[in-house]
Amino acid sequence: MDLLPYIETIIEVSEDPLVMAARLAEDGPHGEFVIYEKGGSWSYAGGVLADVRLDRDGAQMRGAYEAHLEWSDQPLQQVRELLTMLPVRGWRAYGCVSFELSYGMTGNQEHLGNETLLHLMVPCSEVRFDSGSAYVRSTDSATLAVLVDLLTAPAERKAVPAVSVDVRRVGRDEYCDAVVSAVQEITADRLQKVILSRPVELDREIDLIATYVLGRRNNNPARSFLLCMEGLEAAGFSPEIVVSVTSEGSVVSQPLAGTRALSSDAAANSAKRAELLSSSKEIYEHAISVKVGNDELLTVCDPESVVVRNLMGIEERGSVQHIGSQVTGRLAAGRDAWDAFAAVFPAVTASGVPKTAAYETIRKLETERRGLYSGAVLTVDQSGELDAALVLRSVYRQHGRTWLRAGAGIVGQSLPEREFEETCEKLDSVARFLVADALTARCSDED
């Protein structure tokens, strides 16, 4: 089979890559796109050259190559197999994974609905920004020229005032009741920890692109993203990664657990930090999460390579500060990035301990399925590199609905009012930087 070629160029750029990536999303030639930021480097992927999806019927590829694999007991292996069939040299895929994939990771379909569990696209066009330059490629020269023109156009400075949203005005009683029920489950030794979340509905149209720019300028995430994929839109400022795997096989996961508010008051932040690091509840919540992360990497890495680094450091993420640690390792022979992703997904800090019992409690006590919340936005490429951001601190839009969502880690010592306040502190990372939009959504279900 002939390989499909990209036409490529490298140009000098002088603007903020955040602004340029947002311009490509706003004015670019592609209705579907993903912007992904890793370590201060931005990438833009637009248009669908090839499309890979996973649902309860199996894995499908459409576009440059078409194939279908029936559902199996290891569904991510099917995704890997489809990607190896791609007739595209140097491909890189971008996309998202639903939290509900966790219910089917071992092949059991009992708790799966009709949702798309994984959706990746290999883009028609891609732009990667790096130190004053932009690597631009596309499948046709006309689109390449449009992208270059957008990247070299003069900057427009627009004032974007934020919309005020009070995330404390709704959901308190229902959430506190759920926390009480979860603590009862923990006291009965059914599990040790569970993350319970709550949605907050928005009653106005939001400009997600402007929200992404404003929110990113006021957050310091581990990863950030903006996506529009067949009716699903989201802008997020991820506080942690699910997992990151290099082409050489180095693996990193980053459990964050234990939270206090973060403000512009340095003295108050210092007091909150001391409180956080002296709280037996927060330290226990963090410790059991790190233990699970360590055990998960041991299943796919050389045992001697698995270590915990930067144990219980403080990570500042927007409106909150967390206790954070890194668990690292090196893939064992015969293992690859998809094995590492399968070992750690979903992140223990967004599910619970043990995970299977946490899933049951989440299904019982939360009011709706999670979808993208606490799933992942990721990139994966032909070299074997994979990087997956945990989807938290995000705003979502789909089927005419726009909402926020946040959760808190519940353990036996949890107090309902404190856990509710923790969800509010996390929601403020996004809720304070929403930008109103009188226009209809850019990415509709009919696109």
17, burial (CB in 10 Å: exposed 0-12, middle 13-18, buried 19+)? buried
Cα distances (Å, whole numbers) of residue 41 to 134, 135, 324, 401, 414 = 11, 12, 22, 31, 38
Helix (H) or strand (E) run with residue 26 in it: helix 17-27
Distance between CA atoms of residues 44 and 33, nearest Å: 7
Q: Is the preceding peptide bond at 346 cis, omega within 30 degrees of 0?
A: yes
Per-residue tokens: 89? 């040299």
Using alpha carbons, select from 381, 380, 301 the residue that is nearest to residue 333: 301
Distance between CA atoms of residues 270 and 275, nearest Å: 9
Pure H helices in 111-157 = 141-152
The answer to whether 138 and 125 have CB atoms below 8 angstroms apart is yes
304 is an active site residue:
no
Backbone angles phi, psi at 23, to 5 degrees: -65, -40
The answer to whether 373 and 317 have CB atoms below 8 angstroms apart is no
| Catalytic position from the list 100, 240, 422, 425 | 240
Strand, coil or helix: 53: strand
Beta partners for residue 60, in sequence order: 53, 68
Strand, coil or helix: 160: coil
Q: Which are the catalytic amino acids?
A: 240
